[in-house]
Amino acid sequence: VQSAGEPPIKFDPIVVTSRLRWMGDQCNMDFERVSSEALAAVLKGKMEKFGAAVGSLSRSWSDQNPELVYERAFLCVSVKLLMHVAKKVPAMVHPNELIEVINGNSQVRNYIEACGG
């Protein structure tokens, strides 16, 4: 919480990147063993299905782990999947993929804002 007289807190992309990478490391999914049409398309380089794959995988993982809220699962899965695809099909991955998927999900965006950023 910031008081009125304090200078604005600066956005530090290194901190954000580090935190997202840590969250991605929390995801223990083996994408090669998960059955999903959207995921299969993403693993073949069809990044237009990235959001659908992340949404589906996040719901499934969150349902299997009741202590894990959907929004957190979404962030973990999106980072882990993007890193996985970047290793498999690096030419198909653009940094904006993650930003678009997160910003495109109002539930996740609101969760991030409620957590302070």
Domain that holds residue 109: 36-115
> Which of the four pLDDT bands, split at 50, 70 and 90, describes residue 2?
very low
Residue 69 located in a structural domain: yes
For the record, the structure tokens of 67 come out as: 């202590």
> Which of the four pLDDT bands, split at 50, 70 and 90, describes residue 5?
low
Count of other CB atoms within 10 angstroms of residue 29: 17
Residue of 80 and 113 predicted with greater confidence: 80
Residue 11 located in a structural domain: no
pLDDT at 7: 55
Collect all residues with Cβ–Cβ distance below 8 Å to 22 and sequence separation of at least 6.
Answer: none
How many domains would you assign to the chain? Answer: 1
Residues 65-111: tens digit of each pLDDT:
889 999 999 999 999 999 999 998 888 888 788 889 988 999 999 98
Residues 6-26: tens digit of each pLDDT:
555 666 778 888 888 999 999
User: Whole-angstrom Cα distance, residue 26 to residue 106?
Assistant: 22
Residue 2 located in a structural domain: no
